[in-house]
Amino acid sequence: MKPSTITIDGPAASGKSTIGELLAQEMGYLYFDTGVMYRAVTWIALKRGVPIEDEAAVTALAHRLHIDVTTPTVEDGRQYTVLADGEDVTWSIRRPEVDANVSPVSTYGGVREVMVRQQRRVAAGGRIVMVGRDIGSVVLPDADLKLYLDATVEERAKRRWRELRQRGRPAAYEEVLAMMRRRDDIDSHRAIAPLRVPTGAVVVDTTGLTVAQVLSRVRELAEKE
């Protein structure tokens, strides 16, 4: 019997979003990247002038903000469409300024409480591949299959650097690498739901591997369940 709930955790640019989407497509499951919720809150806070360092204000915003994640509504290469109060923010939430501020937002207890509640509601229907940083450890600790994708920080920085260039947003590799290291440190040492390998998760190192190679390994694990 195939696992009904699959979680994929890992640091930024480890390949979890790409692999999660492809695996969900192959299995006919819902693909849900939970990180987009925190990115949406961060982007709207920046856009509306809400100070990121003001935890109470950001938390209040999260409680008021209505976030929807749907299948793609535009054929522009997106994996899904993200709506914040009805506004399409799918590409806006990938901007460098969001990268630089999303980790602090994701540490706020009030914000996480709202987001986790929504994530569990979506997962209750089963047949889902849920991707994030605390899914197997906090959101769905009893998931049927838990995976943790990883790669060296240098490899992950190169992937993000190439991604930015492809979107017409050139940035120095050294800056992207520094930002990646900073984000890893924040995510791994935050007081609430720090990034870690969930108990019982299978670790897959994606360093130097192609998407096809990683997908093959993950598919093999899903079929063993």
Report the pLDDT averaged over residues 98-115: 92
Strands (E), the chain: 5-9, 30-33, 67-70, 81-84, 87-88, 128-132, 145-150, 202-205
Query: What is the pLDDT at residue 19?
Result: 97
Q: In the structure, what pLDDT confidence band is assigned to residue 44 with cuts at 50, 70 and 90?
A: very high
Q: Which two tokens stand for residue 96?
A: 């460098």
Q: Give backbone dihedrals phi and psi of 12, rounded to 5 degrees, phi first.
A: -60, 140
Report the pLDDT averaged over residues 154-182: 93
Report the pLDDT averaged over residues 51-55: 98
Between CA 159 and CA 52 the distance in angstroms is: 26
192 pLDDT higher than 90: no
Q: In the structure, what pLDDT confidence band is assigned to residue 122 with cuts at 50, 70 and 90?
A: confident
Q: In the structure, what pLDDT confidence band is assigned to residue 225 with cuts at 50, 70 and 90?
A: low
Query: What is the pLDDT at residue 71?
Result: 77
Is domain 5-218 in CATH 3.40.50.300, yes or no? yes
Report the pLDDT averaged over residues 173-199: 91
Region for residue 49 given its phi and psi (left: phi exceeds 0; alpha: psi -120 to 50; beta: otherwise): left
Q: In the structure, what pLDDT confidence band is assigned to residue 139 with cuts at 50, 70 and 90?
A: very high
What percent helix, strand, coil does the chain show, rounded to 5? 50, 15, 35
Please write the tens of the pLDDT for every residue from 16-31.
Answer: 999 999 999 999 898 9
Query: In whole numbers, what is the pLDDT of the chain averaged over residues?
Result: 93
The pTM assigned to this predicted structure is 0.80
Query: What is the pLDDT at residue 167?
Result: 85
Q: In the structure, what pLDDT confidence band is assigned to residue 151 with cuts at 50, 70 and 90?
A: very high
145 pLDDT higher than 90: yes
